[in-house]
Amino acid sequence: MERYSARTINELGQLVLHSELRKKLGLDAGGSVSFALVGTLVIIQPIMDASETDCAVSKVTELGMIDLPRDMRQKLDWKPKDQVAVYHVDNMIIIKSAA
């Protein structure tokens, strides 16, 4: 598991993904990611066709930002300015509280 530096959730519930990480996963601007909540971890995976998934989806912005689903942030009690740790494993991004 490869760890990236901690990231801060902004006021809009967004998080910037590292450019190196986006390159490894083939996530260009406009690409889609899906989210799954597993215990206290948020699992993010690139998806090819966002219309074929029944889970939360976000698009990657030009600046590498993604919108973290509100319901997941609420369940985990993540607020703006909270720090999260970002990990890369295979074809996934794993995010957990950095506290």
pLDDT of 5 reads 79
Tell me the whole-structure pTM to 2 decimals. Answer: 0.88
- 34-60 mean pLDDT: 87
| Confidence label for 51 from pLDDT (cuts 50, 70 and 90) | low
pLDDT of 78 reads 97
- 63-81 mean pLDDT: 96
β-pairing, 41-47 vs 92-97, is antiparallel
Q: What is d(CA 56, CA 71) in angstroms, rounded to the nearest whole number?
A: 10
Between 3.20.20.70, 3.30.565.10, 3.40.1550.20, 3.30.1360.30, what CATH number should domain 2-97 receive? 3.40.1550.20
Per-residue pLDDT at 82 exceeds 90: yes
Q: What is the dihedral of CA 17, 18, 24, 30, to 10 degrees?
A: 40
Per-residue pLDDT at 21 exceeds 70: yes
